[in-house]
Amino acid sequence: MMGRLSTELKKRRESALPGGVACAFPICAERAQGAEIWDTEGRRYIDFIGGMGALAVGHSHPKVVDAVREQLQRFTHTFFGSIPYDGYVRLAERLNEIAPFATPAKTLLVTTGAEAVENAVKIARFHSGRRGVVVFRGGFHGRTLLTLAMTSQLDPYKRGFGPFPTDVYHAPFPSTYRGPSTDEALQALRDLFETQIEPDQLAAMVIEPVQGEAGFLPAPPEFMRGLRALCDAHGIVMIADEVQSGFARTGRVFAIEHSGVEPDLVALGKSFGGGLPIAAVIGKAVIMDAVPPGGLGGTYAGHPLACAAALAALHVLEEENLPARSIKIGESLTTGFRSLNLRTDCSAIGEVRGLGAMIAIEFVDDAVSRRPATALTENLVEDAARHGLLLASAGPFHNVIRVLAPLTASDTIIEEALTIFEKSYARVASLTHSGSSDTSEIAIRARKAGRSEWLERPA
């Protein structure tokens, strides 16, 4: 059972916070380093959630900590629109250098990924003089009203929060496992142009090169090339939402680089800040310069401490060659997951997919029907946490486990995590096959409540 400290925190949280703020696990973080985190009762966990993708450089990387400490001793904040500072400009310069464009780039700094996506849309609208925005089913772009309009998943994100901004159109996203095909998705987009909005009324297409909440679905390169051709033909701004897939997560600094396609604007966030809240819109200068002075900004946009952290994180990315490390981690995870399938001869593993270390495993009831195995997945997340491995589920049916491990995780940590995963899978699969529904009911209730009620964790 939860210990005294966790029980006390749970009661305080329920008293002080609204019910809409969910907590997946009944633990309380005390300290963390790299890919490991310890709770207030001294229990250690391998963190494969990584701040929901915000910790590619790991918890409390020494270079990030030192950079923030140094900036903290100089000054904590000024509003950049009134009193500018070097850190903002240096960070923008650095991002412009690595931007995935052949032409000159410029950068706007903001605070969150949703804010980056919203500003990218604002810039595209001002540049084009148009209002329409196309997004893709399965996409997640944030929790503000505009980004909720752009997000596909109803529960728990959208239900009851409308009405949402108009002029947002949802098109199919291709999937090699469940469909539609690339050709079908592109044809559906052309049909949208015929039935819902003329392409010359579209300001932007916004796409995640690898969809995160949908279960780590990579956009096929031929689909990205088809979108680029449509954007070029109709003067539409192509926006890559790299908030989760960026910062070397897929083995490239930007996931869109795998397709060979050049976007017009990129929204960046999460891991880019090394654990501090910062995000950015990086774009082709000719588009970014469309907005007049004062049209962009924010009180905490490009906060000095976050800029220092982001510059340090970018240094770590280069010094520790995180793109190469991402590929190595991805290979280990993919091999481990696929060998698990071979050893157990279990049809519950529908697909192992992803790019670089952005790897996911989808569970199904059987290989023929491909019905989502939601209860099995949630039970596996629950069991793994009880044995020291923190995982996150994804997908519209919560039947996908996505790995967001820090790219600084050692081979030893990765192997330990795979061992825990395999043992948890064996336990949960045996319960499922035996017809036991007790843990399934616990997991489903926990997911709906936004928290887990654990049985006593093994020593």
What angle (nearest 5°) sits at the alpha carbon of residue 16, between those of residues 10 and 18? 95
Q: What confidence tens digit (pLDDT) does each residue in 294-303 have?
A: 999 999 999 9
Q: Give the start-end residues of each E strand in 194-322.
A: 202-207, 210-211, 217-218, 237-241, 265-268, 279-284
Same domain, 195 and 213: yes
Does 395 map to a domain?
Answer: yes
- The tokens describing 160, both together, are 């009851």
Does 223 map to a domain?
Answer: yes
Last residue of a domain, one of 319, 351, 369: 319
Which residues lie across from 47 on neighbouring strands?
Answer: 390
Angstrom CA distances, 58 to 69, 359, 403, stand at: 17, 17, 14
Same domain, 226 and 157: yes
Confidence category of residue 456, pLDDT binned at 50, 70, 90: very low
Same domain, 255 and 404: no
* pTM reported for the whole predicted model: 0.92
**CATH code for position 341:** 3.90.1150.10
Q: What confidence tens digit (pLDDT) does each residue in 329-353 have?
A: 999 999 999 988 766 656 789 999 9
Q: What confidence tens digit (pLDDT) does each residue in 47-84 have?
A: 999 999 999 999 999 999 999 999 999 999 999 999 99
Same domain, 119 and 220: yes
Counted domains in the chain: 2
- Indicate whether 448 pLDDT > 90: no
**CATH code for position 153:** 3.40.640.10
Spacing of C-alpha 345 from chain mean position: 31
Same domain, 298 and 332: no
Same domain, 134 and 229: yes
Q: What confidence tens digit (pLDDT) does each residue in 244-291 have?
A: 999 999 999 999 999 999 999 999 999 999 999 999 999 999 999 999
SS3 at position 280: strand
Residue whose structure tokens are 């060979």: 260
Same domain, 342 and 411: yes
Q: What percent of the chain has pLDDT over 90?
A: 84
Same domain, 270 and 411: no
Please check whether residue 310 is in contact with residue 107, taking contact to mean a CB–CB distance below 8 angstroms: no
In degrees and rounded to multiples of 5, residue 273 shows phi and psi of -90, 0
Does 176 map to a domain?
Answer: yes
Please check whether residue 304 is in contact with residue 312, taking contact to mean a CB–CB distance below 8 angstroms: no
Does 412 map to a domain?
Answer: yes
Q: Which domain holds residue 47?
A: 4-60+321-449
Does 459 map to a domain?
Answer: no
Same domain, 196 and 302: yes
Confidence category of residue 11, pLDDT binned at 50, 70, 90: confident
Last residue of a domain, one of 294, 319, 344: 319
SS3 at position 400: strand
- Residue 1: what pLDDT? 38
Last residue of a domain, one of 259, 289, 319: 319
Does 455 map to a domain?
Answer: no
- Indicate whether 450 pLDDT > 60: no
SS3 at position 390: strand
Does 454 map to a domain?
Answer: no
3-state per-residue secondary structure call for 2-52? CCHHHHHHHHHHHHHCCCCCCCCCCCCEEEEEECEEEECCCCEEEECCHHH
Same domain, 387 and 427: yes
Rounded to whole angstroms, the Cα distance separating 5 from 248 reads 37
Same domain, 387 and 277: no
Same domain, 50 and 126: no
Closest by alpha carbon to 305, among 276, 275, 281? Answer: 276
What angle (nearest 5°) sits at the alpha carbon of residue 151, between those of residues 352 and 194? 100
Does 297 map to a domain?
Answer: yes
Q: Give the start-end residues of each E strand in 216-308.
A: 217-218, 237-241, 265-268, 279-284
